[in-house]
Amino acid sequence: MSITKVKGRLWLSTDERHAIGRGRIELLSKINEYGSIAKAAKAMRMSYKAAWDAVDMMNNLSPELLVMRSTGGKGGGGTQLTDYGKMLVTAFQELESEHQQFLAYLEEKFSNLQHLQQLMRKLMMQTSARNQFLGTVSHIKRGTVNCEVTLQLKGQEVLVAMITEDSIENLEIVEGKQVYALIKSPLVTLMPIDSPLKISARNRLCGKVIQVIKGTVNAEVTLELSGGTVLKSVVTQGAVDDLAIQLGSDVCAFFKASSVVLAVEA
């Protein structure tokens, strides 16, 4: 469950005891509006006795009288706030406004923390696949057994994965959902960007070589794609020499759609 709201209530306390909160301030405000505790209680859907009990408690705890009642007279008497009571209502409302602004500030901070936590979860994901991409599902082409899922990566690169219909249902993959694409580096083939050869592999991502780690048998070649995504390929050292792959070379990486494994956050 994700938390999207930061909530809190403001109380004014005396001797570690809650004395005045939003409900009691609203009662005082209604008494001031109607000039009658009975009408104020009705407006707040509380009993007359409960309203008077609350007023008596507030009057007892306050250093000055908050509510003053009058009896008799032409209008049959009534209830009104003292100047001190009116001042308390105004002061509480101002404090509550400040309190709500503070909660909004905390909510914004928490939202930033959520983004950080999501990033940390992504960075902590451990798999044996050398290449891990986060993309958004832009299209799903369904077949009887297999489905073709197209992902939009950073920099407008497109990646296609071929997975089963059961995997689509189990992972709840739909258009617009963010998913991870995992490709093992030995499954990525490299060719110069100007090569005349055509390859049947569904995925073709081109970029610039930013690192070459040479080995006795194999070499690891790292490409940086246009959107800043990094793609790694493990090929033979002989292939690196034959293709004249070096730092700064423009190279295309090819891999089959069936070589892509999709994953989602649990």
Choose among 119, 70, 62: nearest CA to 87.
Answer: 62
Contact yes or no for 135/119 (Cβ under 8 A):
no
Kindly give, in sequence order, each residue whose CB lies less than 8 Å from that of residue 73, ignoring residues fewer than 6 positions away. none
CATH 2.40.50.100 domain position(s) in the chain:
131-263
Kindly give, in sequence order, each residue whose CB lies less than 8 Å from that of residue 266, ignoring residues fewer than 6 positions away. none
Q: List the chain pLDDT tens, one digit each, 266 residues.
A: 444 566 777 777 655 555 678 888 899 999 999 988 889 999 999 998 888 888 887 877 777 888 887 655 444 457 889 999 899 888 888 888 888 888 777 767 666 655 655 555 554 455 556 788 888 999 999 988 899 999 998 778 899 999 998 899 888 999 999 888 889 989 999 999 888 888 888 899 999 999 999 888 999 999 988 877 888 999 999 999 999 999 999 999 999 999 999 988 76
- Amino acid letter at 51? A
pLDDT for the residue numbered 125: 54
Say which CATH topology domain 131-263 has: OB fold (Dihydrolipoamide Acetyltransferase, E2P) (2.40.50)
Residue 173's alpha-carbon distances to 139, 149, 156, in angstroms, are: 10, 9, 20
d(CA 129, CA 107): 37
If residue 230 lies in a helix (H) or strand (E), which one and from where to where?
Answer: strand 230-236
Chain centroid to CA 163: how far? 28
pTM: 0.52
- Which CATH architecture fits 11-121? Orthogonal Bundle (1.10)
Token pair of 266 as six digits = 């649990």
pLDDT for the residue numbered 123: 47
CATH 1.10.10.10 domain position(s) in the chain:
11-121
- Name the β-bridge partners of 146: 164
- Amino acid letter at 37? I
pLDDT for the residue numbered 1: 41
- Amino acid letter at 108? E
Token pair of 99 as six digits = 């309190």
